[in-house]
Every structure is written in C-alpha cells, then in structure tokens.
Structure 1
C-alpha cells in the first residue's frame, strides 16, 4: 500500500482546522455547559482522517435537547415508558416525545439467555435494540411521507402526520467493563442513532435481588471515569449525543472500594471488637445456621457506624464540635485525616474498623445520605447533560432536598426520574392527590424527563393475559366485540395490517411504480 503523499504543512493545517471545529462545537449553546479533562488538540489527534460524523444521532440529540429545554422553560415534563418493540414505538409517536430502551427489558426479550436485570448480557445488546427501533422509525417516517405526497397539498390537511422520529434514550448500565468496553458500547449507541444514553454508578457483577442486601456502587472516581470515557468517545466521533448521569447511590448498602477519599465520610465500620463478618458467616454456615439471621445478629453486635458517628459516640459535645470544625476545613477529608483530627480533638480512643464488616465479595458497608447523592451528582454534572438520581423508592423531602441541592450549584440543571412498578405510594405517605400531581411537582424542580421503564413487562403482560383469557373463552365473537370492531370503526382507523397507509402498502407499491417510470406524487 503506498504511503500518503501529503505535505507536513497540509497535515498540520488539516489538524488545526479540526481543532478549531471542535472548539467551536464545544462553545455552542448545546455544549457550553460541559467541562472536559482533555483538550481539543487531544481529541483531534484521536479522530479519523476522513469525516465520519454521526449525523443521525446528533440530529436526534439536538432534537431531544431542545425538547427538554422547552419543558424546563415551561415547567412541564416528558412522560415516556420503556419498550423494545418497534410496533409499540409506532404508537408512542402519538403521545410521547421520546422512547426509552431499557437494559432490563432487553435482558428479557433481546438475548439468547433471558434473565433478571443483572446486566450480564453482551455489551452490544441494547445498542442493537436501539438500531432495530431506529430503523423502524425511519421506515414509518418514509412510508408516511410517501403516502402524504400521493395526495395534493389541500388533501394532506386531513391526513395523519405523526412525528415517528421520537428521540431514543437508552440504558448504558455500568459501561460493561473497562475503558475500551465502555468506548465500544458508546460508539455502537451513536452508530445506532441514539439521542441520549445513561450510565450509572453501580458495581459490575454485584446485583442481588433476594438476599436482603441493597445496591453496591463504585467509588466516585470510578463513576466519573465511566462518564469521562463516554464523553471522550462522543467527542472523538464529533457527536452531539446526550449523556445522562444516573446515580444509584440512594438506598445502596455497599461500595466496592474505598480508594476515593470523597466516599470515606459514608463508609461504615465496626466500633466493637467483634470477629469479622466473613468469619462469622463462615462459622454460621459450618453450623448449619440461617445466614440472613446470622448476618443480622452480627450487625446488631458490631456497633456499625460511620467514623464521624463513632467519634460522636465517645466525644463530649465540645470535642465533637471541634472535631467537625477541623474536618470541614477540608473538602473531602480521608479516613486517615479524620483519625488524625480525632486524635487531636477528642480525648477518648475511637475504635473504628471498616474492614470487619466487608462482605464475602469484598464490598465495604456504607451509609449514604441525600448529601452523598448531591455530591456525586455535582461531581458528575460537568461531564453530562442531564442528572438522574435513582430515588425510585421516593421520599418526598429527600427528592426535594436532592434537586434543590444540585440546583444551588447548577441552577439550570436538567433532571430525569424513573418510576418502579411495585412501589406503594400510600404506604410511603403519599396522598392520592400527591400521587396525581407527582409528575407535575417534579417538573417544577427541573425534572423534564420521566420514565416508567417496565411497562412492557407489567403493563403489556397484563393486557396480553386479559386478551388471552377472553380469546380462549369466547373466540372470534369476543375478538370482534373487543378488538376488531372498535379498531375498524375508529376515525382514523386503528393502525394494523389492514390499514395500508400504516403497514406500508402504498410505499411497497411506490417502488414498483417508480421502477416502471410512473409518478408517485400528486402536484400541489
């Protein structure tokens, strides 16, 4: 293969032009709020020598960004839900401005080995589902356009005209491994036409569902590295694709590492000189005891506290005030720094061991608060466009504290929120009136994108079960009464195979007509 015959001056000029274009993009209204840990020169050097700009993803991202900004301006919100089925997406176009592609749903319907939401499916599963849906949106957009242009301008006023290109928001889970895995996933999403992806701070491979344990998150530093990786990949591609920074810290019980001092304030340790939890559980297992009960008994005896709580337990009121005063001089005091401060301000010995409560998988116990979530969200905000604190077992005062806390630092921050399918709002203290206006009250705090991720399981399964029962009991009579009759009598007719303008019959014929040299449009 011949070497490129290009002068060094031409090479440098092309590089400088790329740098200038990147800096212009970064200063645009769409991206001016983002802060990178790298320069435009670095990104330009990582790009291809030919233009491979991700036009579709960027167009959809800007469309979504404008929608969210408009909601923020008006105090309104987008209410969408999750699905992996293109047919359902075609109907969402009539009511939703965006579509959510959930990793949990993909894990049930889009993989060779379905299973619970353990994020153990191949990293390209959700991007492939996005690509499938995006292609279906393009097809619906194409067949609707052609059908409309079969009619005169005056006739088109009475025809359906839906925006089938609703931006797709997709689940990037935890990034699926190291930097290169996350890069490949991000690139696949952009190539698929996604408008926004979210990444969370959960620990890979540590999701549990039935053992009475909470979430495990990664250190703040690892979470930020994940976000930086996606931001870098988007920048290398020149994509406008949005990044949603999701934080799953709320109600989490473990953290995978204590490498980051920013997390030390919330890590829990034993304040009693008990055996380690691992040793205790090993002994209980050898004796045939119930491990859940053994764990609970150990926790009750260990005097579990954060280091600050351990200090407060043995210090006088004045000593603890002096301790806190010194600790707060540092933005994020490490455990080592806190021990040194305690030794100077508190007379009593402070016993604290965060190694003893570690799980068999090595996780550290910790005790996050709303303050913890705010700190993570604020640290992540410069890398992304929208913030999502997974407070899906909502406590209203915590929700208000979080969103107001982040907006004290970033007044124009946009937020997302997710609902679960089994939360008992009444039991949690929400009145029926509060539940009725919950989405509106959230919107007033800047929560411009709200999603029910699992409707395609809970909702669709219920509909299918009801129809299956009716069909088994009544046959075609029930179908005509409940489905066929109402669908065919609606104006316009409900979308289906028998509706040629929806199923693409006119588009298919248009290909034959075009090949035959016939006109497929009407003059205005």
Structure 2
C-alpha cells in the first residue's frame, strides 16, 4: 500500500487542532455539565482519522432541548415501550419520545429499524405536502415523525469491550439517549422479588465511563442516562469497592454458612429450601457492620465509633479498627457466611445507597434514573431532593412498572393521577411505562383475537374499520395514500423517467 508522506510538524499540528476542537466542544452548553475522567488528548488519540456525522447527535440535541424545557417549566414527557415501527409512527402524534427495550444486541437493531422508518415517514410526508398548493398545506397533517428514541442498554451485555461495541451500535442506529444500569450480568432480576443483584460501585462507574468514552470517540452528542437499580436489591457481586462496605450485610452470630446449611438441607430431602434460608437469616441476625456495632455498644460508645469514622469512605477494615478502639465488647461480623451459592454478598438497600451511587454517576451522564419499582413517595422525595441539592439543574427519569399495586401502597386515585406532575416538579422530565410493548400490546391483541373469533368480519367492520375510517383525519393505513407512500413511490419512477413536477399523471400538481 502507498506510504503516507507527512511532515511530522504538520501531523502534530493537526493532532493539536483536534485536541483543541474537542476541548472547545466539551465547553459547549450541551457538554459542559459532563466531567470526564480522561483528557481530550486521550480521546483524540483514539478517534478515527475520518470524521463522521451521526443522526444520533441531531436527535440527542433535540431531546436535550425538549427535556430541559420540561425541567424549566416543571412539566414532563410521558411515553411508553415500543418495538414496532408502525406503532412508533402513531406515537409521534402524541408522544415526544419513544422507548425501546429488549435483550442482548436486539435493542440497537430495533432502534435502527424504527429510526429508518421515522426517516421514511418524514420523507414521504414532506414530499406529499410539497406537492400540494402552498395555500392548502395549513390544512394538511404535519407530524414530527423524527421522535427521539430512548433505548435500554441494560448492563452493557458483558465486559467493557461489549459496552463499547453496544454504544457504537446505538450511535450508528440513531438513538438519542440510552441507559446503563448497575445490575449484575447474568443475575438480573426484572421484578422487585428476591435476588436482584448489583455490581460494585466501581464497576458501575466503569460501564458509564466506557460508554461516555465511545460516544466521545465518535464525536457524538448522544445522551447517556445513568440508571441505578440499587433499590430493593438483595445482593452485590463483590466487595472490591470500599464505598459499598457499609451496605454489605454479614452474620453477627457464629453459625454454619448459608451455603453449607442449604446443601445439607437439600441432601436431607428438605421440601422447602426457601424456608430453610429464611430461618438461617433469622438465626444469623444478618445486618451491616454499623448495625452490628450498635447492637453491642453503649450509646456513648456508638457515638465515639461514629465520630472516629468521620464522614469519609471507610472500608470494613477501617470500621473494625474504629470499633476496636471505641467499643468494649467484641463485634462479631462475618460477611462471608451468608454468601450465596454464586458467591454474592448480602446487600442492604436503602435510599442513602441510591443517592451515593447516583451522585457518583451523575458527572458521566446527562440524566439520572433511580429505578424504584415500589414507588414509596417519601423515598422518591428524599432521593430527588438530595440529588438536586448537589445538581440543581439535573434531569431525571422515572419508570412505571406494570404490576405495582398503587392502592395497596397507600396511593389514592387522586395521588395516582397527580403522580406524574408531582414527579415533574422535582425535575423528573422523562417518564415511561416500559412494558406497554408487552403488557399493553398483548392485552389489546387478546381483545381483538377474541372479537375476531366470536364475530369475524362483522366484528372487525363494526369495531375497527368503521371507527378508523370515520376519524378525522382518517386513521393511517394503506387505504390512505398520503400515509402508505404511494405518492413517493410514483415520484421515484417519475424521476427515473425524467418526468418533472407538474408533467405527469402521478398525482403531482399541474
């Protein structure tokens, strides 16, 4: 291959200019709030030689303006989960954003499919409008089909290399924003039930850093949503990060390990291992180290212990040393005894843990989402108020689950109705019902399937076709040429045939 003949001084000057361009970009209103743990020089070294332009940036800038406008006004965007381009095209009439969730690498592919359909709808609508006389266009439909897409990146689908690859796919697909969470790979739980497992704080921050790095390498404005799933988590995978130590639970009674207890129960033919587990937890008197100290210390000793620790990060080693100096009784605490068969440590979920992680993650992303599947109002207020004290202009997201019993949790019908606006007042500008694509679509399909079986074409005509054709404007479908793209198709062939606007029978103005 040909050798590049380049003067080193010119090469260095070009590189320095690239670094300066990055530094100026990072000072822009869109980027200034992000605090990167790496330099512009590092990103310039990693960036490709040929600059690229991504639609993801345009969509992200659009979303950034939308959400900040909501934040300033105390209003909110309400959207729901979608995986189908046809449904996405109808959402554009009522929603400002779309939410795409799924599994593995299917999400970037679905984003790509929906985004391409958005571009097509914008193209065929613009073409149809411009065929009509100017004075008639005000009466025509004119929807903004380029609805920003927010996507679910889960936990990154593997190590940091996988996170980087996934980020690249998202940017290339046209996503406006995607979120990464702190759940453990291979141990993710989708409900509030037993077993939700988070990774150490350091691993979570590494994921976000990897995604932010790849976005910067691509020179994109793609937004990153930092989702924290600590709420109601039961386990943490590792204790490598001292910042997590005060939330790790251990046995405070010298008992046989949980693993050995469960194994022996299984070998003995126990019919209910969950009951055995529950009894073990009770007998082991599971709690955090701070709680273990409080159990054996006097009031003055515990105050001395807390004072000795101070307000910084303390590892278990630090806490043990502080207790030894301030508490007369020995503090028994063993966080290995309760470890699960997979090696997970028991974790105490609480609002302070969520707040701490969210504050650490915030500088790497643009929006914060504390996944609180059980929306305890006092917890929600405590979390958002705490984050806004540090980041007053922070954007927040919130997801509504499909099975949460609001009345049982004490929410009156009025409180449920006002929940979106009440959240918006705390900066929750983006709100989503993630599983409509599953729960809602299944429910509606089931209703129609039953109708079709029981009433056949008569039921379809009466319940679907007539109402759809009677809407104004008519519900989109293939009987509506302006939506189905027939005008655009004709225009392609007219152009190939060198028939200009106004010359042919393709429906163009003459």
1:248 maps to 229
Give runs of aligned pairs for residues 290-439 of structure 1, distance below 5 A: 290-327=272-309, 329-439=310-420
Could you tell me which residue of structure 1 aligns to residue 37 of structure 2?
37
Cα deviation, residue 210, structure 1: 9.3
Q: Aligned ranges for residues 438-457 of structure 1 at < 5 Å?
A: 438-457=419-438
How far residue 518 of structure 1 moved from its aligned partner, in angstroms, is 2.2
Per-residue deviation, residues 76-134 of structure 1 (Å, max 9, x unmatched): 0000001110000000000000000012xxx4xxxxxxxxxxxxx3xx32111110010
Determine the C-alpha separation between the residues in 2 that align with 1:356 and 1:132: 49
The structural deviation recorded for 1:345 is: 0.5
Match for residue 61 of structure 2? 62
**Aligned mates of 1:454, 1:232 — CA distance in 2:** 30
Q: Give the TM-score of the pair, scaled to structure 2.
A: 0.97
Q: Which residue of 2 aligns with 1:114?
A: none
| Structure 1 counterpart of 2:505 | none
Match of 1:495 among 458, 467, 476: 476
Secondary structure of the 1:169 match is strand
CA distance in 2, matches of 1:410, 1:210: 29
Structure 2, unmatched stretches of 5+, are 503-507
Q: CA deviation at 1:178?
A: 1.3
For 1:94 and 1:301, locate their aligned partners in 2 and report how far apart those are by CA, in whole Å: 58
Equivalences, count: 504
Using structure 1 for the length normalisation, give the TM-score. Answer: 0.94
Moved more, 172-181 or 338-347: 172-181
CA contact (8 A) 1:415 1:447 kept: yes
- After TM superposition, give the deviation of residue 523 of structure 1 in Å: 8.2
Query: Residues 276 and 356 of structure 1 are in contact (CA less than 8 Å); yes or no, is this contact kept in structure 2?
Result: yes
- Indicate the SS of the match to 1:475: helix
Instruction: Return the alpha-carbon distance in structure 2 between the equivalents of residues 286 and 216 of structure 1.
Output: 27
Distance 2:37 2:449 in 1: 55
Comparing 211-220 with 405-414, greater Cα deviation is found at 211-220
Mapped contact 1:25–1:31 kept (Cα < 8 A): yes
Equivalent position SS for 1:244: strand
Q: Structure 2 CA distance, aligned partners of 1:430 and 1:292?
A: 31
Secondary structure at 1:332 match in 2 = coil
Hey, what does 2:125 align to over in structure 1? 144
Aligned counterparts of 1:278 and 1:211: Cα–Cα separation in 2: 23
Q: Which runs of 5+ in 1 are unaligned?
A: 108-120
RMSD: 1.4
Contact 1:211–1:292 under 8 Å retained in 2: no
1:490 Cα deviation after fit: 1.3
Which region of structure 1 is more displaced relative to structure 2, 245-254 or 506-515? 506-515
C-alpha separation between the residues in 2 aligned to 1:459 and 1:368? 31
Pick closer, same or farther for the CA change 1:186–1:45 going to 2, 3 Å.
same
Asked if the contact 2:149/2:175 (under 8 Å) is kept, the reply is yes
Tell me if the contact between 2:189 and 2:197 (Cα under 8 Å) persists in the aligned partners. Answer: no
Aligned-residue offset at 1:209: 6.8
SS state at 2:430 partner: strand
User: Displacement of 1:519 after TM fit?
Assistant: 2.7
Matches within 5 A, 1:53-202: 53-54=53-54, 56-103=55-102, 107=103, 121=104, 124-202=105-183
Q: Which of 457, 469, 474 is matched with 2:450 structurally?
A: 469
- The correspondence for 2:268, drawn from 287, 290, 308, is 287
Q: Displacement of 1:10 after TM fit?
A: 1.6
